[in-house]
Structure 1
Amino acid sequence: MLNWDNYGILKEIIMWQILSEKDKKKYALLNALYRKYDPITIQSLSEVSHLSQRSVLNYLDELKVDLFPLSGEIYSSNEGMKLLLPDSIGMDYFQRKLLRESIGFQLLEYLFFQGEASCSELQEHFFLSSSSLERILKKIRKSLEPYHLKVSGSPLAVRGQEFFIRRFYTRYFFEAYSQDEWPFRNLDKENVHRLLKTHPPYCHEYSKFIKSQEILFQFAVSLTRAQKGHFHPVYPVSFFTEKKLPEIRQELRQSLTGFPLGALSLDTVLDELSFMKLQYTTEYYKERLEKDPGFQESTRELFRLIEETTDLFQLPPSKYWPFLIELYKLLQLHVKGKGHTILPDYLLFRSRDFIIVTHHQLEYPFFYTYVTSYFKEILISRGVTVSEGLLEEFYYTLLCYSEDLTSHLFRNFKSCSVLLYSHLSQNHAQAVRDVLIANFNSMIDVEIYNESVLTTEELERYQYDLLVSTSSVEMDTKSDVLYLHFHEKGYQISSIYKAISTVVDKKKADQMKRIKNYMDKKETLKEHPLTEATFTTQYWK
């Protein structure tokens, strides 16, 4: 069960503690207004934002001033209050503003670029008294603990394992700055961008899944840390690092000859770029699977998950390496941090595409439950404490690096494959197809029957759920047949809709029956686990 504080903010998101009470209250009110399409009364605003009515009125006045430069306003009528924003502005604008205007986060950003600073320097830079600075530092220290970081020493600096420092700051810059902004004054944006474009630190299989702004900020954070003498995290010694890392570095050295690096050191670029490329290149992991018994053991259950879900949910063979690698990394992070809290990879706000997890929870609950149950078993077997949020993070990772998973599930559970036959011509069939697509959109996939005459033999060549014909069909077919009625007002869409709904309901029921039978069978197998025969060398190819 998720816990919410008095402002409608998740208590689990501990970085909210850095924000001032006033900033949290104003954001809660703005968020409540943003989520309402219709006008909302002061009383209702008070209830949904968890603020008193007096506080609501006071903060509304401040928000009106904040919105003025955006040409936005809070419109008041007898029905209540309504937030009006330009079409080009979304809630992400205010989320970035919240981070950037917080003294606590400004202080963390200052320490990142300066490396270290004395208390007197921070007091002078941020116009703070010693007591105010100490209060802010106390909040920061408490908030950073679950990230395995601390602000300590004299002078003060953010300290901890390099991996966690880079992970934290990459996410901070990703949440605090838009794609048009560049906070790294120590780096030339065009130069860094050109470097990543010509020498991408990921392979082709990864390319469509990479978030360009995040990888850009990740590289910039890495370069900045390296410039200050903090080099990339130590990778466990194995053939992977002893052999592949030097190989990648040498290849990059040759290809970067003559590249205009500007103020960047070649050795720094080589170190950081080769380390990133090692993590985002599938061929290296395939080779590792062949030669590294530890990696084979660590990924065995993930391969089994791929095999079972592909079979059970009738999914096409997928290009699974990117999501397998990312799930492996996430699993290793939590296994190594066993006994400690490892917070999700965001500070205040989840990525905006996280909504697809909620979509799957609602639309494909069997798939979501099956996959997260599998993740839960894997995590528990490794001694990791499991939470709802952690399972969602694993599922989100799976979705982010899976190709067309949602569309495949939709076709299997929510749509109908229609085979369309026209006794007149292919042109007529195409016209009818356009009508069907216009009326039913994504509910159906329509394939045109290419022969001039319907025959049992030819029908066997097609995979479909429903045959729609412009002429009566008297032969026996493997699936339902619908004659396309035509009335004065056009095609009789209602009869088609009814037929499609019937087919979809039957498909869904059949799928659920298959899944239930499989799950029941799996329960009986717990006393006799699957053999290692399921883990075959086919995955090495």
Structure 2
Amino acid sequence: MEQLITTEMTRRILLLNLLYGADDWLTTEKISARLHCSTKTVLADCRYIEERWSDQLMIEVSKKSGIKLTISTFHSIHDIYVDIIKSSDSFTLMEAIFFHPNESSEEMASRVFLSSSSLYRLSRKLNNGLKERHLRIDSNPFVFSGEGERQIRYFFISYFIEVYGVHKWPFRFDKAALVQLAKKINLDFQLYLSDFRIIQLAFSIAVTLTRISQGFSTENEMKQEDCFETKLTQCQIDRYSKDLTALVEDIDFDPQADWQEDFCYTVFWWIFGKDDSAEQRTNEVTEQLIHEVNNELKTSIDDASKKKLVQIIQNLYCYHKIYPYKKHIIYSRFFYSGKSIKQNFILFSTRISKALTEFEEKEGLPWKTFYLNEVLHDFMLYWEDLPTQLFNNRGKVSIAVLSDLGKEHAEVMGTILKMTFLNNVSVTTQNASLFDPPKGKPVSQRDLYVSNHHVEYMSQEKVVVVEDILSLKNIVDLRKIIEQNQLFAYTSAKQKAAASEKR
């Protein structure tokens, strides 16, 4: 979908992703290699980004260190991505066609302030991007079409939640009433939706009612649906008829007679996306993920958490069966939460990633490719006390602290390490004073040596040189190294155990 924006803006989005995803400075050479452009272009793009969003971020450029991005504490990276989308002519046109379908080229050109030639050129560009989702824009009159009406609705549900998020609302329907209805449906069907997904369900309701009010129908698709009447009965639409009638009574709404059936067919994806094997398969996937985390990371799970996770995985499966495409256009809210989980819980995220890769290879459904970050997010959200368990159950990395400022300073460094990494480390400090430095390699072996000076008599692979008082960068670097040590120790222990079982 990057085709929907200019080449320059696509490169700037990738630059933004690189800088935001980095924990520290990135060299201009590394960035230019990743973006396939010159260092001069990288610096120009940095200036453009900082000038355009000066209230939201700051980009530092250093000849020595490279480039570093800092986001304002008053803003989210999400605000910048939304601004990029909203400022694009492509998305302006796409949204105009959604809210005002079947307009002539003259009417649409006037609405989006483009010439006729620019309008057709832009619509062709949009069609190149929409093709991967089997959608297209027909022109004069301008309208969306594709393999089915429901696919069009699902595309726009994803689009609107990405662009407007939880705080803004582009529809004429009452947002509070739709959110209340979404909450009611979530509770009735025990979907265990987070607040974000409840808002997403509200967007689903709004998009569906908008398309129905415009005269678009899923009638042909409903006729081809297996066991349609049985599934429709499961929706229990009578329970929501009063709410739906109240939503549309104050607006120009003249839909077909069976519009509430059409509504169910789109909104109740957990019913219409389920096939005979869905429940059994998603149960197996969830059980296997939980088993591997429990077995290998020494965690435990309560029945309520397990029930929620089974339902969440089933939700992902059923939604994918209906709409088997990436949900985001340029920005996923789950990408950055997944990134943080991978950084802070390497063992857990590695285990989940490996399991989802195996499921994907076995079934063909993109469990890892599409849903890794979302699954990591959901496990952290719905597994009671999982972060605490993962912290407490980590194997400890033994650290010896060395200082050329003396044993008192080494003790201070050791205290900071203990306070920062808690149960992840066991810390000892040098006993020798500055006037009695060690003559050679210490007898006691440690996984890691943290020192404020270069240590010649030790393997450099085990030594981390830090500031006299640990800086934020030192702590970030040490966290990665400690988790890598834990992962290595865990893998080695597992390999030894497997080898002993074969004997």
Quote the offset at 1:252 in angstroms: 2.9
Quote the offset at 1:401 in angstroms: 6.7
SS of alignment partner, residue 206 of structure 1: coil
Show the 5 A alignment for 1:251-270. 251-253=239-241, 262-263=250-251
Q: CA distance change for structure 1 residues 269 and 365 in 2, over 3 Å: closer, same or farther?
A: same
Q: Is 1:364 aligned to 2:351, yes or no?
A: no
Match of 1:98 in 2: 84
Match of 1:312 in 2: 295
Match of 2:207 among 204, 221, 239: 221
Quote the offset at 1:102 in angstroms: 1.0
Measure the CA separation in 2 of the matches of 1:56 and 1:392.
Answer: 30
Q: Is 1:127 aligned to 2:144, yes or no?
A: no
Match of 1:346 in 2: 328
Comparing 77-86 with 117-126, greater Cα deviation is found at: 77-86
Measure the CA separation in 1 of the matches of 2:72 and 2:374.
Answer: 36
Query: Are the equivalent residues in 2 in contact too, given 1:17–1:143 (CA < 8 A)?
Result: yes
Counterpart residue identity of residue 305, structure 1: Q
Render the CA deviation track for 1:358-380: whole Å, top value 9, x for unaligned: 34883336622552254135414
Quote the offset at 1:94 in angstroms: 1.4
Show the 5 A alignment for 1:38-57. 46-47=32-33, 49-56=35-42
Show the 5 A alignment for 1:194-273. 194-196=180-182, 200=186, 203=189, 206-208=192-194, 211-231=197-217, 234=222, 236-237=226-227, 240-245=230-235, 248-253=236-241, 262-263=250-251
Q: Is 1:182 aligned to 2:169, yes or no?
A: yes
Query: Are the equivalent residues in 1 in contact too, given 2:102–2:141 (CA < 8 A)?
Result: yes
Match of 1:159 in 2: 145
Match of 1:172 among 159, 165, 175: 159
Comparing 172-181 with 118-127, greater Cα deviation is found at: 118-127
Match of 1:499 in 2: none
Query: Are the equivalent residues in 2 in contact too, given 1:414–1:508 (CA < 8 A)?
Result: no
Measure the CA separation in 2 of the matches of 1:93 and 1:355.
Answer: 18
Quote the offset at 1:88 in angstroms: 0.8
Quote the offset at 1:110 in angstroms: 1.0
Measure the CA separation in 1 of the matches of 2:116 and 2:142.
Answer: 14
Query: Are the equivalent residues in 2 in contact too, given 1:305–1:374 (CA < 8 A)?
Result: no
Render the CA deviation track for 1:211-264: whole Å, top value 9, x for unaligned: 34323322222222222233577464267515322xx22233468898996438
Counterpart residue identity of residue 152, structure 2: I
Counterpart residue identity of residue 149, structure 2: E
Structure 2 unpaired stretches of 5+: 398-414, 425-484
Q: Is 1:443 aligned to 2:423, yes or no?
A: yes
Measure the CA separation in 2 of the matches of 1:512 and 1:269.
Answer: 60
Match of 1:113 in 2: 99
Match of 1:493 in 2: none
Counterpart residue identity of residue 389, structure 1: T
Comparing 164-173 with 54-63, greater Cα deviation is found at: 54-63
Quote the offset at 1:118 in angstroms: 2.8
Measure the CA separation in 1 of the matches of 2:354 and 2:39.
Answer: 45
SS of alignment partner, residue 211 of structure 1: helix
Measure the CA separation in 2 of the matches of 1:156 and 1:273.
Answer: 24
Query: Are the equivalent residues in 1 in contact too, given 2:57–2:71 (CA < 8 A)?
Result: yes
Show the 5 A alignment for 1:136-155. 136-152=122-138, 154-155=140-141
Measure the CA separation in 1 of the matches of 2:500 and 2:260.
Answer: 53
Measure the CA separation in 2 of the matches of 1:307 and 1:58.
Answer: 47
Measure the CA separation in 2 of the matches of 1:276 and 1:89.
Answer: 34
Render the CA deviation track for 1:480-507: whole Å, top value 9, x for unaligned: xxxxxxxxxxxxxxxxxxxxxxxxx999
Counterpart residue identity of residue 162, structure 1: E
Counterpart residue identity of residue 325, structure 2: L
Measure the CA separation in 1 of the matches of 2:22 and 2:247.
Answer: 52
Counterpart residue identity of residue 121, structure 1: E
Equivalenced residue count is 414
RMSD value, Cα = 5.1
Q: Is 1:302 aligned to 2:285, yes or no?
A: yes
Match of 2:379 in 1: 399
Quote the offset at 1:206 in angstroms: 0.6
Query: Are the equivalent residues in 2 in contact too, given 1:144–1:150 (CA < 8 A)?
Result: yes
Quote the offset at 1:20 in angstroms: 0.9
Counterpart residue identity of residue 160, structure 2: F
Query: Are the equivalent residues in 2 in contact too, given 1:182–1:189 (CA < 8 A)?
Result: yes
Quote the offset at 1:520 in angstroms: 11
Q: CA distance change for structure 1 residues 256 and 414 in 2, over 3 Å: closer, same or farther?
A: farther
Render the CA deviation track for 1:300-342: whole Å, top value 9, x for unaligned: 64365367447634532443344334434544566678xxxx4
Match of 1:389 in 2: 369
Query: Are the equivalent residues in 2 in contact too, given 1:123–1:130 (CA < 8 A)?
Result: yes
Q: CA distance change for structure 1 residues 378 and 35 in 2, over 3 Å: closer, same or farther?
A: closer
Q: CA distance change for structure 1 residues 76 and 311 in 2, over 3 Å: closer, same or farther?
A: closer
Render the CA deviation track for 1:79-110: whole Å, top value 9, x for unaligned: 67665654212322211111111111111111
Quote the offset at 1:174 in angstroms: 1.7
Query: Are the equivalent residues in 2 in contact too, given 1:203–1:280 (CA < 8 A)?
Result: no
Structure 1 unpaired stretches of 5+: 1-14, 417-434, 445-504, 524-541
Q: CA distance change for structure 1 residues 412 and 107 in 2, over 3 Å: closer, same or farther?
A: same
Determine what percentage of the aligned residue pairs are the same residue.
19
Counterpart residue identity of residue 326, structure 2: P
Query: Are the equivalent residues in 1 in contact too, given 2:15–2:35 (CA < 8 A)?
Result: yes
Match of 2:360 in 1: 376
Q: CA distance change for structure 1 residues 366 and 77 in 2, over 3 Å: closer, same or farther?
A: closer
